[in-house]
């Protein structure tokens, strides 16, 4: 029987908080009469996290667990959880007790009654140090500008999805920060956010360092390029190559024209190879040709991909 709610919780060494979080979820779900399942995805923990999950599974049929042999990252954990869940609405949340299960009923209604594809949490009031909040604000600003999705907190772990969304996207690398962008490129454009409460971390320490902001920016460039040009790379490389080649060719014409002018006026003309414009033009034409060739090679790879015509169809009639 299909559940109302599936909750996917990636975790790494969170033995202190698992039982408390599960009890909190169970309390909220019972009060609101939801049928539900909770997937704890153990991302290679070295503490007692997995044994606690096994014990909870023995006591309740709502608790399910998946354990990785080693640490693969949050994106891998979410992708596996998305594949396994069956709920009408799928939630993601962190295991550190900083996300409140009390927010789930209202977010559930926004999906089921208001028709949103994704509802993202917005931790407007945070209990994080400035070393984390300031880079986060810059990261969110850049992401809004590049994706066109007006969310204030892309990296909030508390999100709600229609089941069909998580079944039609793939999360890999460190792309969990950009699931709204991935969903948008897949055709799920009804994306909104809800202000949610942010709890101070009760146990342990964060598993993410400052390097996530560097990786996050690189992933942002990657997801935007793949989303826009993944099935038509020649449109990007070919256009860029044509522009660069045209600039170089125009400079060649200018240098030759200047040379002919000096000859016709019988003026001592400097050697073409002594002019810096000649080398700039030469380099531009070479780079332009290489970009164009890169576009052709990318097109060949794309057209030989088994997923080249894998388009997501929402409905059919007849």
pLDDT digits (tens, 9 = 90+) for 156-172: 889 999 999 999 988 87
pLDDT digits (tens, 9 = 90+) for 264-307: 877 777 777 778 888 888 899 999 999 888 888 877 776 665 55
The whole domain housing 276 covers: 233-303
Examine residue 211 and state whether it is found in any structural domain, yes or no. Answer: yes
Query: Does 88 lie in the same domain as 11?
Result: yes
**Angle made by CA atoms 192, 195, 201, in degrees to the nearest 5:** 125
Query: Does 217 lie in the same domain as 191?
Result: yes
Query: Does 46 lie in the same domain as 159?
Result: yes
Query: Does 144 lie in the same domain as 261?
Result: no
Number of folded domains that form the chain? 2
- Supply the pLDDT for residue 119: 96
Query: Does 30 lie in the same domain as 92?
Result: yes
Q: What is the mean pLDDT of residues 255-260?
A: 83
* CA 181/CA 91 separation, integer angstroms: 17
Last residue of a domain, one of 209, 229, 249: 229
Q: What pTM, to 2 d.p., does this model score?
A: 0.72
pLDDT digits (tens, 9 = 90+) for 82-134: 999 999 999 999 998 989 999 999 999 999 999 999 999 998 876 666 556 67
Query: Does 248 lie in the same domain as 194?
Result: no
CB hemisphere CA count around 236 (13 angstroms): 14
* CA 45/CA 53 separation, integer angstroms: 12
């Amino acid at each position: 029987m299909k559940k109302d709610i599936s909750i996917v919780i990636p975790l790494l060494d969170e033995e202190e908080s698992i039982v408390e979080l599960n009890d909190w979820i169970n309390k909220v779900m019972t009060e609101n009469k939801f049928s539900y399942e909770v997937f704890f995805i153990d991302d290679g923990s070295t503490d007692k996290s997995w044994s606690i999950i096994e014990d909870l599974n023995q006591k309740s049929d709502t608790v399910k667990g998946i354990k990785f042999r080693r640490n693969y990252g949050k994106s891998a954990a979410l992708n596996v959880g998305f594949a396994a869940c069956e709920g009408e609405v799928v939630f993601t949340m962190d295991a550190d007790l900083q996300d409140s299960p009390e927010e789930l009923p209202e977010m559930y209604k926004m999906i089921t009654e208001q028709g949103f594809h994704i509802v993202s949490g917005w931790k407007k009031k945070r209990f994080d140090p400035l070393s984390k909040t300031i880079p986060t604000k810059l990261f969110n600003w850049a992401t809004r500008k590049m994706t066109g999705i007006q969310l204030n907190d892309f990296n909030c772990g508390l999100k709600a999805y229609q089941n069909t969304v998580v079944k039609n996207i793939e999360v890999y690398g460190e792309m969990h920060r950009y699931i709204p962008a991935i969903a948008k490129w897949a055709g799920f454009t009804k994306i909104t956010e809800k202000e949610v409460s942010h709890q101070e971390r009760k146990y342990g320490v964060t598993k993410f360092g400052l390097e996530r902001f560097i990786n996050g920016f690189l992933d942002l460039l990657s997801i935007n390029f793949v989303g826009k040009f993944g099935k038509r790379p020649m449109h990007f490389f070919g256009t860029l190559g044509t522009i660069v080649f045209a600039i170089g060719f125009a400079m060649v014409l200018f240098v030759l024209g200047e040379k002919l002018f000096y000859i016709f006026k019988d003026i001592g003309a400097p050697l073409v190879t002594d002019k810096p414009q000649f080398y700039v033009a030469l380099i531009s034409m070479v780079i332009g040709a290489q970009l164009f060739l890169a576009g052709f090679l990318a097109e060949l790879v794309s057209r030989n991909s088994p997923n080249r015509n894998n388009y997501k169809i929402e409905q059919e009639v007849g």
